[in-house]
Amino acid sequence: MNLTGVIAISGRPGLFKVIVQGKNNVIVESLVDKKRFPAYSTDRISALEDISIYTLETEKPLKEIFKAIHDKENGGETISHKDTDTALVSYLLEILPNYDQERVYISDIKKIFQWYNLLHKSGNLKLADVLAEEAPVDKTVKESPAKKKEESTPKEKKTTDAKKGSKSAAEVKTVSSKAKEAKAKVAKDKA
């Protein structure tokens, strides 16, 4: 489940998709009515991909909870966030039985179901494997000879460049013996 670029802005109803990020603001688009407006750095913005729900052991990312709801509902909408509190809590207990009931408030539970339904209605609630199936890759396509030549040319060039930059063992011995002879001559001249 990909929630990248989907945000919630405190004080504004609904969810928003980040369009462009500027220096002092972010241009966002509402998932409901597709209206665009700037969100400033003073707004409290929460990225859905960063939100987690407390469980008794650790935290569970929101995308995993959405996936569990998606699997339970067979890709359909879930219960409304306006249902009774007991219905919402019992539904969350079905999909996440070990959530921390002391730290997860009813307002948080309502947001989970409201956000899921908003993402479902706007068509932004797609699983990663569903996205992979929509764009099949043709594995029977062969590489063109030009591409093979491009790939082989840099490797060959690296090899020849490496040969140019490195010296063989015989060349190193010759250079080092010449250096020793020069040092000996300088020492002899000083004496």
> What per-residue confidence (pLDDT) applies to 24?
85
C-alpha radius of gyration, the chain, whole number: 31
Q: What confidence category does residue 190 fall into, taking pLDDT thresholds of 50, 70 and 90?
A: low
Query: Cα(191)–Cα(187) distance, rounded to whole angstroms?
Result: 6
Instruction: Enumerate the H helices of 24-144 as residue ranges.
Output: 62-72, 85-95, 106-122, 128-134
Angle subtended at Cα 100 by Cα 97 and Cα 106, rounded to the nearest 5 degrees? 95
Q: In this predicted model, what pLDDT tens digit does every residue of 113-140 receive, in sequence order?
A: 999 999 888 887 776 544 444 444 444 4
40, β-bridge pairs: 25
Q: Provide the CA 91 distance to its chain's centre, in angstroms.
A: 29
Domain ranges (residues) in the chain: 6-134, 145-181
Classify domain 6-134 by CATH architecture: Orthogonal Bundle (1.10)
User: Is the model's pTM score more than 0.75?
Assistant: no
Please say if the pLDDT value at position 1 is more than 60: yes
- How do residues 153-181 score in pLDDT, each as one tens digit? 444 444 444 444 444 444 444 445 555 56
* pLDDT at position 41 over 90: no
Q: What's the mean pLDDT when you consider all of the chain?
A: 75
